[in-house]
Chain A
Amino acid sequence: MATLATRAVVSSARVVREQKRGDVAFEWRVLLPLVSLVIVLGEHTFLPAYQDYAVKRLAYFTNLLYILIGVFSVLALVSAFKERLREKLVFKADIYAAGFLLLGLYDVITLKFNVVPSLYFPAPERIIGVFAEDWLFLLQCLAYSMRLLLGGFFLGTFLGVLTGTLIGWSQRINYWVMPFIRMVGPIPSTAWIPIALVVFLKPTSASLFLIALGVWFPTTVLTSSGIMNVRKSYFEVASTLGASTLRSIFTVALPAAAPSIFAGIFNGTSACFLTLMAAEMIGCKFGIGWYINWQREVLAYANVYACLIVIAVTFSFLIGMQFNIRNKILSWQKGTIRW
């Protein structure tokens, strides 16, 4: 039986290697994004701008299009030799192409025909211009916000897993702590702002506390329910094999509850993005949330959009990273539970 399985493993490894080596082939579909980029470039270059559209012609958008055309040309070329890249690019070609066309359409209705109020819906030119001119300040704001966000996130996650484990494990702690959590937990952390600003002297510590609180609650609840739902027989096995209570918690309860713990952390992550924005718009004097609010007040909507893009990219990167870590830790689940 053992040799059979080994053989199966070896043969499947061989198949993978053969796929990786691949043959040289070209898929015309990888050119789709390029086609649509060229269309947008043509539109931007040859279609005249609306007569009194207030924008400095610094060719930011044109340069971006050139850069994108360069990137996608290289990708298309490399994809002829790399099968995995080719498959991925073919799969994504339609959405990329559609996205670029949409960008061109936005350029048409703003810069070219001025269909929407230009104050609130600035042309791509102006939004990209913000990145080109204000990138350092945006980066500083982002770094400042990240410090708060990550600090609050890790603090809240750690305390959440700790509280959840204690509640899930000990009936006595559950009795005393659970009613408190039931009452206090559901209060949105932004509702604590007035109190947090009084209790904590610095607005940054208040924000840190609020963000940590927002992550702490869902993590606590899902950790404790995860641990309470672990099959009793796992603990029986651990104890008959000689494991102490503490060892059972770390080697049985937490790993078995990990899927539920990660669900809690994920809920907490969305909550902490929200709290960060709210906290910065009210208390703090720096950061991306504060930046948006400030730019809105001076009617610099191009900066608002630029900042929204920064937020979108950063947060989706953070979520993606979290999913990767989770998938790595929960790899034992593959084949049993699908996400």
Chain B
Amino acid sequence: MVGVIDVLKVRKVFLQSDGSEFTVLNDVELRFDSGEFVSLIGPSGCGKSTLLRIIAGLEHADSGTISLDGEPITTPGSERGLVFQDPTLFPWMTIQENIAYGLRARGIYDQEKDSIPDFFHLVGLEGFESAYPHHLSGGMAQRAAIARVLVNRPKVLLLDEPLGALDAFTRMNMQDEILKIWQQQKMTTILVTHDVDEAIYMANKVIVMSARPAKIEKIIDVGIPRPRRRDSTEFLRLRADILGTLHFAGGAQESELFERGLGV
């Protein structure tokens, strides 16, 4: 099995400007299975992005270990691809050069360059090889950023609110695009999001985190068959459940209504 991530008793404390400590991750225990699509959701400051950055190797846990297929993670690596909310394409490179960056960085450009057109096709950017990032719209730039990560054929795809800056319609299109890619490539995928609908629509499993105290509130298995409808009863029930867990009054009411079998 590849792409299994084990999070063992991970603790992360940030020092605040007034000198006090703020615990963002408090002995978190999680396991991400091979090929699974997991959403991490929770209010700002609940540590979901921090957890993702530790998995990416960009930050270090104060205690505890994170491992990929049994190997502890200490540094960034190309087998864990990370996509940010901002596409962060290199503006001085063409889209082609951006997407080929990982291959060059790993010194396998000559062997692997024939695969690059496949990735342009996968994200629907054919014809934009020699364009520069400022020529692209937000959605297109984010697709390029995803392709740039995928050329490395990562075992794990880490998505840090990748669609947060896009308008509602582009966002729904991109959700389907990402699902299509995930279904083709079957890599373990972790999506950090603020959007409850997105979390349910995309994932096999939704992990709900809370801020103070920082902990994992609930792990919900999403059993809805794909393609999913955002207005199905099951979808709305999960939505109410998650909102209720996050202590939103509306969510709690919806949840109650469902429990009484009234629906919405």
Contact = CB atoms under 8 A, between A and B. Distances in A.
Contacts of A3: 127
B127 A5 contact: yes
Interface string A1-26: 11101100000000000000000000
Interface string A225-246: 0000001011011111111100
A251 B90 CA distance: 9
A255 to B, nearest CB: 4
B92 A258 contact: yes
A242 B106 contact: yes
Given A5-B127, A6-B127, A332-B132, A241 B90 contact: no
B101 A241 contact: yes
B181 interface: no
Interface in A233-274: 233-234, 236-244, 247, 251-252, 255-256, 258
A2 B77 contact: no
Interface string B55-86: 01110000000000000000111101110101
A304 to B, nearest CB: 45
Contact of A240 (B58, B86, B92, B134): B58
Contacts, number: 83
Contacts of B101: 238, 241, 243, 251
Interface string B113-149: 0000000000011111001101000001000000011
B93 to A, nearest CB: 8
Nearest to A241: B102
Contact of B84 (A1, A6, A233): A233
A336 interface: yes
Contact of B76 (A236, A247, A252): A236
A7 B78 CA distance: 36
B102 A242 contact: yes
B192 to A, nearest CB: 15
A256 B101 CA distance: 15
A274 B82 CA distance: 50
A335 interface: yes
A241 B78 CA distance: 5
B92 A242 contact: no
Size range of the chain A interface in the assembly: 20 to 34
Contact of A2 (B56, B92, B93, B127): B127
A240 B56 contact: yes
Contact of B128 (A2, A236, A242, A256): A2
Interface in A199-244: 231, 233-234, 236-244
A241 B152 contact: yes
A177 to B, nearest CB: 27
Nearest to A258: B92
A256 B92 contact: yes
B105 interface: yes
Contacts of A2: 124-128
Interface of A: 1-3, 5-6, 231, 233-234, 236-244, 247, 251-252, 255-256, 258, 332-333, 335-336
Interface of B: 56-58, 75-78, 80-82, 84, 86, 88, 90-93, 101-102, 104-106, 124-128, 131-132, 134, 140, 148-149, 152
27 contacts: A2-B124, A2-B127, A6-B127, A233-B84, A236-B76, A236-B82, A236-B84, A236-B88, A238-B105, A239-B75, A239-B76, A240-B58, A240-B77, A240-B81, A240-B149, A241-B101, A241-B148, A241-B149, A242-B77, A242-B106, A242-B152, A247-B105, A251-B90, A251-B101, A251-B104, A255-B93, A333-B91
